[in-house]
């Protein structure tokens, strides 16, 4: 049994999926792997996600210590940027492997639509 941030997980894979699982978290992490993005930029990268879902997923990733949120309030309009924390950066090989697997599946069995 694994215990992390007040939750119990039956195995290490369950813990990992509890943190990065779901439809959008891995996609968010993929887009933050190489750069810091403002909320609006992230939203443009993920046009099919609703604003509510994106906000909730970012909040959860922030609470889990995977993503950091930096707010600039010195002058309007309010500017918010998201980036990976040091803990989040340890997921880069995992996220890259997931992305590479997707590319290989498309090469073998699908089509790339631009």
Q: How confident is the model at residue 11, as a pLDDT?
A: 94
Residues 12 and 77: their CA atoms lie apart, in Å, by 42
CATH number of 35's domain? 1.10.10.10
In a domain, 101, yes or no: no
Tell me what the pLDDT averaged over the chain comes to: 91
Q: How confident is the model at residue 67, as a pLDDT?
A: 98
In a domain, 73, yes or no: yes
In a domain, 109, yes or no: no
pTM above 0.75, yes or no: yes
In a domain, 112, yes or no: no
Residues 85 and 61: their CA atoms lie apart, in Å, by 10
Tell me: the pLDDT tens digits for 3-32?
888 888 999 999 999 899 888 999 999 999
Q: Note down the domain range covering 79.
A: 2-94
Q: How confident is the model at residue 105, as a pLDDT?
A: 87
Report the b/e string of 61-85 with b at 16+ CB within 10 A.
Answer: beebebbbeeeeeeeeeeeebbebe
Residues 87 and 109: their CA atoms lie apart, in Å, by 34
Q: How many domains does the chain contain in total?
A: 1
* pLDDT cut 90: percent of the chain above it: 68
In a domain, 53, yes or no: yes
Residue 41 confidence (pLDDT) above 80: yes
In a domain, 106, yes or no: no
């Amino acid at each position: 049994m694994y215990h992390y941030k007040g939750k119990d997980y039956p195995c290490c894979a369950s813990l990992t999926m509890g943190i990065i699982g779901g439809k959008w978290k891995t996609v968010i992490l993929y887009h933050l792997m190489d750069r810091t993005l403002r909320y609006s930029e992230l939203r443009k990268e993920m046009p099919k996600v609703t604003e509510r879902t994106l906000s909730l997923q970012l909040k959860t990733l922030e609470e889990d210590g995977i993503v950091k949120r930096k707010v600039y309030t010195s002058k309007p309009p309010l500017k918010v940027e998201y980036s990976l924390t040091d803990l989040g950066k340890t997921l880069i090989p995992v996220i890259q492997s997931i992305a590479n697997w997707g590319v290989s599946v498309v090469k073998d069995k699908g089509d790339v639509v631009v």
